[in-house]
Amino acid sequence: MIKFKLIAGISLSLLLARWKQTLVAAIGVTFSITMFIALLSFMGGLNSLLDGLIVNRTAHVRLYNEILPSRQQPVEQSDDFKNKYAFIHSIKPRNERLEIRNSGAVIAAIRKDPRVVGIAPKVTTQVFYNVGSIELMGVVNGIDPEAENRLFAFSEYVTTGNFMDLKNVPNSIILGKAAAEKMLANVGDVIQVTTSNGERMSLKVVGYYQSGLQEVDKVQSYASIATTQKLLGETNSYITDIQVKLKDILQAPAMAKEYGQLFDVEAMDIQTANAQFETGSFIRTLISYAVGITLLIVAGFGIYNILNMMIYEKMDSIAILKATGFSGKDVNHIFIAIALSIGVFGGFLGLVFGFGLSAAIDQIPFNTPALPTIKTYPVDYNPNFYIIATVFSILTTYFAGYFPSRKASRIDPVIIIRGK
Amino acid sequence: MNTTVLEAVHITKYFHDPLDIQVLKDINFYLNRSEFVSVIGKSGCGKSTLLYILSTMDTDYEGDLLIDGVSMRQKKEAELARVRNEKIGFVFQFHYLLNEFTVLRNVMLPGLKLGLHSEAEIEHRAYEKLKILGIEQEALKRPNQLSGGQKQRVAIARALINDPLIIMGDEPTGNLDKKNSEIVFEIFKELAEVYHQTLLIVTHDNEFAARTQRIIEMEDGKIIRQ
């Protein structure tokens, strides 16, 4: 203990004797840690914002039926043609309904699964919006507004009106903002829609929906499940999609496969549906880590230089310490302690400033019509960034101090003393 | 009282750079407790080189060195540092005080490194040593505020802090004027006579050497008289 105190005391004195240089070194570390934290927090915020555009609004696993040709053609089932190759031309998709068969039982079964956060059933259908004599293409999503909001933050994208009106007002619709502008439909207006079967229905506009993706807002609109079923003339068990939200998004591909086989439906997991977002996030994160770590290494060279200079200046002191009984190890510890205290002090200030800079970025207004819910630049206050920055600042300063310290510990006192 | 504290056995040393030169040739001598010995010789005769070997700082030699009856040959760097810390006190031509510390702290450092006593005890002992050397009122100054003679006395106090077996001096008066040299010599004499301190001083000042108890004279890497 007394030895530790002695080494620390000598380190501190040497450090204070050259306080201007050590301050510059510490500022280097502070700057790099500040930028590291701010950069990663901002990049992290941006990533989760962009991911959120898709990921938070998309089911982790989506069950649906698709018009597809049969996977097994009748000829393949016949015993007469076993071990033969069949070349079949002009295969047509089989005539199948988009409805998920036995949807009530499927929903009940998935609800019981402990890996599932919740599910939201959906009825999707193509429609035409009738504006005078013009027909506009559109898609009506029949949803359960409560489940949709709880799982996929539906209310965040309803920029005008209350999303719960879908449930409370009969025959109501929330139009995509771009579609509503095309139709000149205001909230409270009644619009006409026509289904592909020729059914026609009047729906009251109760709000606007804005996703931030213009192409989506031009066609998508939302109604309640019951309204959509009525529009299609179907019974109340008619469901075309089941959207499942999982506790662990990484399990989605495995569970999609499992559900697809179990319920005999198409099952799409979020990773497959949005592969490009995953890649984009990964590359952005990689770049910000690379820049941050580069900054730290540059700061490490600063510390290396200053320690080297200090060792040249303090050659005499090192020699006399060794002559009076300090071992090479003690001298080594003294310089490592100097390097580490620069790292710890500069790093700690860097964490504080980094947090401050992130908070400042968080206050800068950022208004864009594409992202209605975002008012300021996004920042992710992830404690992992702070942990990584701390570990790296200590590691780089340790290595920056390692070589000069080793040199100092090997100084031969005889050469210095004889040289005088 | 006539026990041997230091013994050099057939010590031989070569310098390899730029050419192989034998600087020390089969040096044999011993040092008894409370002896005040000086080593003299012309410049380049190897007396400083010998001192660095005797002080354990230079380990590149042939032969053996016994301090307090223990061979230094097989000891590792950290063990030799411990020997220097505990048994040897140094006074060099240059004072080598650390300007970052007060005079008192400079004296205390080897004591703190040895760690035999508490910090308060070491501070008390450091004051005692400074008092012996008559500079206790300078204890809280920085070394660069002191005169050359005072600095050398602080360096002697530092050498004394762990009550070493031997004090070794490498031209301790070489940088001092006549008056300060006299003061330093008187201090050494007092240490030898009053405190029975063993002293081994390398000097080229024959007048200084003449007043010590024993003179070892060297020439061309050999002891010619002792």
User: What pLDDT does A420 receive?
Assistant: 52
pLDDT of A100 over the 70 cut: yes
Residue A377's pLDDT band (boundaries 50, 70, 90)? Answer: confident
Phi, psi of B91 (to 5 degrees): -130, 120
Range of the domain at A168: 59-71+96-269
Tell me, yes or no, whether A128 and A29 share the same domain: no
Taking contacts as CB-CB distances below 8 angstroms, the residues of chain A near B162 are 325
What is the number of structural domains in chain A? 2
Tell me, yes or no, whether A367 and A221 share the same domain: no
B13 within some domain: no
Among the partner-chain residues B77, B93, B100, the one whose CB lies closest to the CB of A13 is B100
CA distance B57 to chain A (A): 7
Asked if B96 and A16 come within 8 Å (Cβ–Cβ), the reply is: no
Percentage of chain A lying above the pLDDT 70 cut: 97
Q: What is the mean pLDDT of chain A?
A: 85
For the stretch A246-300, pLDDT in tens is 888 888 889 889 988 888 888 888 888 777 777 877 888 888 888 888 887 887 8
User: What pLDDT does A353 receive?
Assistant: 95
Range with lowest mean pLDDT among A42-51, A158-167, A222-231, B208-217: A42-51
CA distance A325 to chain B (A): 4
CA distance B33 to chain A (A): 21
CA distance B189 to chain A (A): 22
Taking contacts as CB-CB distances below 8 angstroms, the residues of chain A near B109 are 6, 10, 321, 324
B204 within some domain: yes
**Chain B: residue nearest A2 by CA?**
B115
Residue A139's pLDDT band (boundaries 50, 70, 90)? Answer: very high
Mean pLDDT of A181-196: 89
A80 within some domain: no
Taking contacts as CB-CB distances below 8 angstroms, the residues of chain B near A325 are 81-82, 84-86, 110, 113-114, 162
User: What pLDDT does A419 receive?
Assistant: 64
User: What pLDDT does A1 receive?
Assistant: 56
User: What pLDDT does A206 receive?
Assistant: 93
Among the partner-chain residues B52, B101, B114, the one whose CB lies closest to the CB of A325 is B114
Asked if A6 and B58 come within 8 Å (Cβ–Cβ), the reply is: no
**Chain A: residue nearest B94 by CA?**
A420
User: What pLDDT does B209 receive?
Assistant: 87
CA distance B83 to chain A (A): 7
A87 within some domain: no
CA distance A418 to chain B (A): 8
Taking contacts as CB-CB distances below 8 angstroms, the residues of chain B near A412 are 57
Range with lowest mean pLDDT among A89-98, A194-203, A233-242, B67-76: A89-98
Assess contact for B50 and B21: CB atoms under 8 A.
no
What is the residue type of A74? Answer: P
Assess contact for A309 and A400: CB atoms under 8 A.
no
Instruction: Say whether A97 sits in a helix, a strand or coil.
Output: coil
We report the CATH number of the domain holding residue B163 as 3.40.50.300
For the stretch B125-176, pLDDT in tens is 898 888 888 888 888 888 888 888 888 889 889 988 888 889 998 888 888 8
A2, A320, A331, A418: which to substitute to probe chain B, counting the most B Cβ within 10 Å? A320
Tell me, yes or no, whether A257 and A296 share the same domain: no
Range with lowest mean pLDDT among A51-65, A137-151, B10-24, B95-109: A51-65
Taking contacts as CB-CB distances below 8 angstroms, the residues of chain A near B55 are 323
Instruction: Say whether A337 sits in a helix, a strand or coil.
Output: helix
DSSP at B101: S
User: What pLDDT does A2 receive?
Assistant: 65
Tell me, yes or no, whether A296 and A384 share the same domain: yes
A203 within some domain: yes
Asked if A322 and B110 come within 8 Å (Cβ–Cβ), the reply is: no
User: What pLDDT does B178 receive?
Assistant: 87
What are the distances in angstroms from CA B114 to CA A166, A248, A309, B82, B132? 84, 60, 29, 8, 21
Tokens 């771009």 correspond to A178
Separation of alpha carbons B4 and B66, rounded Å = 9
Tell me, yes or no, whether A196 and A119 share the same domain: yes
Asked if A324 and B85 come within 8 Å (Cβ–Cβ), the reply is: yes
pLDDT of A56 over the 80 cut: no
What is the number of structural domains in chain B? 1
Give the tokens for residue B155. 């360096």
Tell me, yes or no, whether A375 and A363 share the same domain: yes
B165 within some domain: yes
Tell me, yes or no, whether A161 and A252 share the same domain: yes
Residue A371's pLDDT band (boundaries 50, 70, 90)? Answer: low
Asked if B113 and A316 come within 8 Å (Cβ–Cβ), the reply is: no
Give the tokens for residue A410. 């090997």
CA distance B109 to chain A (A): 8
Among the partner-chain residues B48, B90, B101, the one whose CB lies closest to the CB of A418 is B48
Residue B1's pLDDT band (boundaries 50, 70, 90)? Answer: very low
The pairing of beta strand A116-131 with beta strand B88-91? unpaired
Taking contacts as CB-CB distances below 8 angstroms, the residues of chain A near B111 are none
ipTM of the shown complex: 0.85
Tally A–B CB contacts below 8 A: 80
User: What pLDDT does B137 receive?
Assistant: 87
Taking contacts as CB-CB distances below 8 angstroms, the residues of chain A near B97 are 320
The answer for residues whose C-beta is within 8 angstroms of residue B69's C-beta and 6 or more apart is B4
A122 within some domain: yes
Q: Is A9 exposed, middle or buried (0-12, 13-18, 19+ CB in 10 A)?
A: middle
The answer for residues whose C-beta is within 8 angstroms of residue B94's C-beta and 6 or more apart is A316, A417, A420, B175
Percentage of chain A lying above the pLDDT 90 cut: 12
B52, B55, B116, B171: which to substitute to probe chain A, counting the most A Cβ within 10 Å? B52
Tell me, yes or no, whether A43 and A64 share the same domain: no
Tell me, yes or no, whether A144 and A178 share the same domain: yes
Mean pLDDT of A173-183: 90
User: What pLDDT does A386 receive?
Assistant: 92
Among the partner-chain residues A324, A330, A414, the one whose CB lies closest to the CB of B58 is A414
Tell me, yes or no, whether A208 and A286 share the same domain: no
CA distance B48 to chain A (A): 8
Choose one of A238, A269, A300: the last residue of a domain.
Answer: A269
Tell me, yes or no, whether A44 and A132 share the same domain: no
Mean pLDDT of B187-203: 88
A366 within some domain: yes
B86 within some domain: yes
DSSP letters spanning A167-202 = HHSTTEEEEEHHHHHHHTPPTT-EEEEEETTS-EEE
Mean pLDDT of A70-81: 81
DSSP letters spanning B115-145 = T-S-HHHHHHHHHHHHHHTT-GGGTTS-GGG
Range of the domain at B45: 35-59+74-225
- For B168, the enclosing helix (H) or strand (E) is strand B166-170
Tell me, yes or no, whether A264 and A115 share the same domain: yes
Among the partner-chain residues A317, A325, A418, the one whose CB lies closest to the CB of B113 is A325
Among the partner-chain residues A10, A17, A413, the one whose CB lies closest to the CB of B57 is A413
Choose one of A269, A304, A321: the last residue of a domain.
Answer: A269
A6, A338, A417: which to substitute to probe chain B, counting the most B Cβ within 10 Å? A417
Q: What is the mean pLDDT of chain B?
A: 87
